């Protein structure tokens, strides 16, 4: 280990079970010397295994619904009390679409569900940043990372409303990155991750086939949750102190590859 986060304090959202990307980020952040609190929606506390992660990493859990400004305020106040100072890093690892869950085709999206998806998966980043700025809860040079997917740039029919929602998430990271950067040098980036076998990922129709397709296109293959966590750690560290307002692909080269010889051969039936 490199002690990249020695002395840093953080908030990690979204660790539901051992497959969660946030779970791996928490393990790595702990290995790299950070102290942090874990948070998730109250319902996820009952269903998930977050307590085991808290024990393993010596962290406390603060339940918070990421759509509630009141919960987020409480989260920052309590996190700073527990950790003994302002926050240096924040991981936004929150995604949920009721339209996807209910298998509703994109063109027939239910708008109440659409709004819920926006609130949970994109607006929550704005709320977490806005409350942090208001409470001055993040140290100068602090780093915020939100996880996203390439459907924000290119169409993946099965990703339905989450494509639009991720586009909004990435835009919030850019827009807020300007304001928070000017005022406090706080950095905000999104990491655009390969398909990953998690609860949120595998809930998407046709995920298995698509996972294999992406793996066959990417020269390095799909990036797994653990390597995603490593990348997030570098973004929380001071080594990336001038990187902000970026959407950073972490996908084994998938986003820059038109087609691979492997896929061509499969199509030709070789
Ligand atoms: N799995 C993939 O293929 C993939 C690819 C690219 C990006 N991502 C993104 O990574 C992030 C993490 O997802 P994951 O794949 O680790 O799946 P996951 O299901 O383990 O994590 C999603 C988390 O969001 C939390 N959440 C949902 N509603 C919430 C609310 N109202 N308040 C607070 N938390 C809430 C869940 O409890 C869960 O912990 C998501 O933003 C997802 O879109 C995933």
What pLDDT tens digit does each residue of the chain (270 aa) get?
Answer: 899 999 999 999 999 999 999 999 999 999 999 999 999 999 887 777 999 999 999 999 999 999 999 999 999 999 999 999 999 999 999 999 999 999 999 999 999 999 999 999 999 999 999 999 999 999 999 999 999 999 999 999 899 999 999 999 999 999 999 999 999 999 999 999 999 999 888 888 888 888 999 999 999 999 999 999 999 999 999 999 999 999 999 999 999 999 999 999 999 987
Give residue 45's pLDDT: 79
4 lies in some domain: no
86 alpha carbon, distance to own chain's centre: 21
Angstrom distance (rounded) from CA 139 to CA 180: 11
Query: How many residues can be counted in the chain?
Result: 270
What residues have CB less than 8 Å from 212, skipping those under 6 apart? none
Contact 15, 38 (CB under 8 A): yes
Q: How close is the Cα of 14 to the center of ligand 1, in Å?
A: 6
Which phi and psi (to 5°) does residue 61 adopt? -110, 135
3 lies in some domain: no
Angstrom distance (rounded) from CA 169 to CA 181: 17
138 lies in some domain: yes
**Domain residue limits at 231:** 9-267
Q: What is the pTM of this model?
A: 0.98
- Tell which residue, 125, 165, 162, has the closest CA to residue 13: 125
Give the largest Cα separation in the chain, rounded: 62
**Ligand 1 contacts CB of residue 91 (under 6 A):** no
Angstrom distance (rounded) from CA 60 to CA 55: 8
Give residue 103's pLDDT: 95
100 lies in some domain: yes
Tokens representing 247 are 């959407």
CATH assignment at residue 58 = 3.40.50.720
Active site residue 156: no
Backbone CA torsion sign across 175, 180, 185, 187: negative
Q: How close is the Cα of 240 to the center of ligand 1, in Å?
A: 24
Give residue 205's pLDDT: 81
What residues have CB less than 8 Å from 30, skipping those under 6 apart? 36, 56, 57, 58, 59
2 lies in some domain: no
Give residue 31's pLDDT: 98
Q: How close is the Cα of 147 to the center of ligand 1, in Å?
A: 8
Angstrom distance (rounded) from CA 202 to CA 23: 16
225 alpha carbon, distance to own chain's centre: 11
Tokens representing 98 are 């009721």
43 lies in some domain: yes
132 lies in some domain: yes
Contact 72, 128 (CB under 8 A): yes
**Ligand 1 contacts CB of residue 21 (under 6 A):** yes
Question: Of these residues, 159, 180, 211, 254, which one is catalytic?
Answer: 159
Tokens representing 62 are 């603060």
Active site residue 178: no
Of ligand 1's listed atoms, the one at least distance from the Cα of 191 is 7
Which phi and psi (to 5°) does residue 248 adopt? -110, 120
**Ligand 1 contacts CB of residue 222 (under 6 A):** no
Range list of H helices, the chain:
21-31, 42-47, 50-57, 69-83, 98-101, 111-118, 124-135, 160-184, 199-202, 207-217, 225-236, 261-267
Question: Of these residues, 113, 149, 180, 254, which one is catalytic?
Answer: 149
15 lies in some domain: yes
Domains contained in the chain, number: 1
């Amino acid at each position: 280990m490199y002690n990249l986060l020695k002395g840093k304090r953080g908030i990690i959202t979204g660790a539901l079970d051992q497959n969660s990307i946030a779970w791996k980020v928490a393990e790595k952040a702990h290995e790299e010397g950070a102290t942090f609190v874990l948070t998730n929606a109250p319902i996820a506390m009952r269903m998930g295994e977050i307590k085991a992660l808290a024990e393993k990493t010596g962290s406390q859990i603060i339940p918070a619904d990421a759509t509630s400004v009141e919960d987020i305020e409480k989260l920052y106040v309590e996190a700073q009390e527990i950790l003994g100072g302002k926050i240096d890093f924040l991981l936004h690892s929150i995604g949920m679409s009721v339209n996807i869950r209910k298998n509703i085709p994109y063109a027939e999206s239910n708008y109440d569900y659409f709004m819920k998806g926006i609130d949970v998966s994109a607006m929550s980043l704005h709320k977490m940043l806005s409350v942090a700025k208001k409470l001055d809860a993040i140290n100068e040079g602090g780093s915020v990372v939100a996880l996203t997917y390439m459907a924000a740039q290119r169409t993946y029919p099965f990703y339905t409303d989450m494509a639009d929602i991720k586009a909004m998430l990435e835009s919030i990271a850019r827009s807020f990155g300007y304001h928070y950067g000017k005022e406090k040098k706080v950095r905000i980036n999104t990491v655009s991750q390969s398909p990953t076998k998690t609860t949120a990922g595998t809930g998407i129709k046709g995920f298995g086939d698509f996972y294999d397709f992406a793996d066959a296109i990417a020269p390095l293959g799909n990036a797994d949750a653990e390597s995603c966590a490593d990348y997030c750690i570098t973004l929380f560290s001071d080594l990336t102190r001038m990187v902000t307002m970026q959407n950073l692909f972490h996908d084994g080269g998938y986003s820059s590859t038109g087609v691979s010889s492997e896929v061509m051969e499969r199509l030709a039936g070789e």
